[in-house]
Amino acid sequence: MFSNKGQEYGFRGYQAPSVPRAPRSTRRTCPILRKTSDGKLRPFDILASVAGELLLKKDACSISHSSSTHRDQYPILEAVYDEKLPDKCKTLELKPSIPENCGKSLVVSESLSPKKDQDGGFEFNAKDASVSSAIGLSLDVDNRSISNLVDERKKLSKDVLMHDGKFGCSSYTDMCRLGNQIKYFSNKRKVDGSDDGENWSGCTPLSSMKKKMKPFNSVPRTGDRRIRKILASKFWKNSKLKSTRSDGNLKIGHWDRIGCYRDQRYRRNFAYNFSAINHIKNFYIRGRSSGPKKGGNKDVSEYGSSPLKVGHHTSNGRKYSHVKLQIESFRIPELFIEVAETSTIGSLKKTVMEALSAILKDGAHVGVLLRGEIVKDDRKTLLHSGIYHDNPPDALSFILEPKSSLAPQESPKLPNNALTRDASHTSTGCAANLDAHREASLPLTESHGAKAGKLIENDHHDAASSVVDEHLMESRDLAATPALRNRETLPAVPVQQRVKDSVISQRRVRRPFSVAEVEALVQAVEKLGTGRWRDVKFQAFGDVEHRTYVDLKDKWKTLVHTARISPQQRRGEPIPQELLDRVLAAHAYWSHKQQM
Partner DNA sequence: GTTAGGG
Partner DNA sequence: CCCTAAC
95: CB partners within 8 A, 6+ apart: 76, 77, 78, 80
| 8 Å CB contact between 218 and 409 | yes
Cβ neighbour number for residue 87 with a 10 Å cutoff: 9
Query: Could you tell me the smallest distance in angstroms from the CB atom of residue 583 to DNA?
Result: 16
Binding residues for DNA, rule: CB under 7 A, are 24, 28-30, 32-33, 225-226, 228-229, 232-234, 237, 265, 407, 505, 507-511, 530-535, 546, 549-551, 553-555, 557-558
Query: Which residues on adjacent β-strands are paired with residue 309?
Result: 282, 326
Where are the strands (E) in 288-439, listed by range? 308-314, 322-327, 337-338, 364-370, 373-374, 396-402
Query: Which lies closer to DNA via its Cβ, residue 8 or residue 573?
Result: 573
Query: Could you tell me the smallest distance in angstroms from the CB atom of residue 225 to DNA?
Result: 6
Query: Which lies closer to DNA via its Cβ, residue 67 or residue 558?
Result: 558
| 8 Å CB contact between 234 and 490 | no
Query: Could you tell me the smallest distance in angstroms from the CB atom of residue 414 to DNA?
Result: 17
Query: Could you tell me the smallest distance in angstroms from the CB atom of residue 389 to DNA?
Result: 22
Query: Which lies closer to DNA via its Cβ, residue 250 or residue 444?
Result: 444
| 8 Å CB contact between 195 and 322 | no
Query: Could you tell me the smallest distance in angstroms from the CB atom of residue 272 to DNA?
Result: 8
**What's the order of all strands across the beta sheet hosting 114-116?**
114-116, 122-125, 166-169, 161-163
Query: Could you tell me the smallest distance in angstroms from the CB atom of residue 274 to DNA?
Result: 15
Amino acid symbol at 92: L
Query: Which lies closer to DNA via its Cβ, residue 227 or residue 280?
Result: 227
490: CB partners within 8 A, 6+ apart: 483, 484
Q: Positive or negative CA dihedral for 350, 354, 355, 356?
A: positive
Where are the strands (E) in 371-407, listed by range? 373-374, 396-402
Strand, coil or helix: 477: coil
Nearest residue to 133 via CA among 182, 63, 41: 63
Query: Which lies closer to DNA via its Cβ, residue 171 or residue 275?
Result: 275
Provide the CA 48 distance to its chain's centre, in angstroms.
Answer: 19
Query: Which lies closer to DNA via its Cβ, residue 237 or residue 476?
Result: 237
Query: Which lies closer to DNA via its Cβ, residue 242 or residue 507?
Result: 507
Query: Could you tell me the smallest distance in angstroms from the CB atom of residue 257 to DNA?
Result: 21
Query: Could you tell me the smallest distance in angstroms from the CB atom of residue 534 to DNA?
Result: 3
Q: Positive or negative CA dihedral for 551, 553, 558, 563?
A: positive
Query: Which lies closer to DNA via its Cβ, residue 450 or residue 550?
Result: 550
Query: Could you tell me the smallest distance in angstroms from the CB atom of residue 231 to DNA?
Result: 9
Query: Which lies closer to DNA via its Cβ, residue 36 or residue 233?
Result: 233
Query: Could you tell me the smallest distance in angstroms from the CB atom of residue 232 to DNA?
Result: 4
496 vs 416: CA distance, rounded Å: 50
Count of H-run helices and E-run strands, the chain:
19, 18
Q: Positive or negative CA dihedral for 230, 233, 239, 240?
A: positive
Query: Which lies closer to DNA via its Cβ, residue 531 or residue 567?
Result: 531
Query: Could you tell me the smallest distance in angstroms from the CB atom of residue 240 to DNA?
Result: 15
Cβ neighbour number for residue 395 with a 10 Å cutoff: 23
Query: Which lies closer to DNA via its Cβ, residue 106 or residue 227?
Result: 227
Query: Which residues on adjacent β-strands are paired with residue 92?
Result: 81, 112
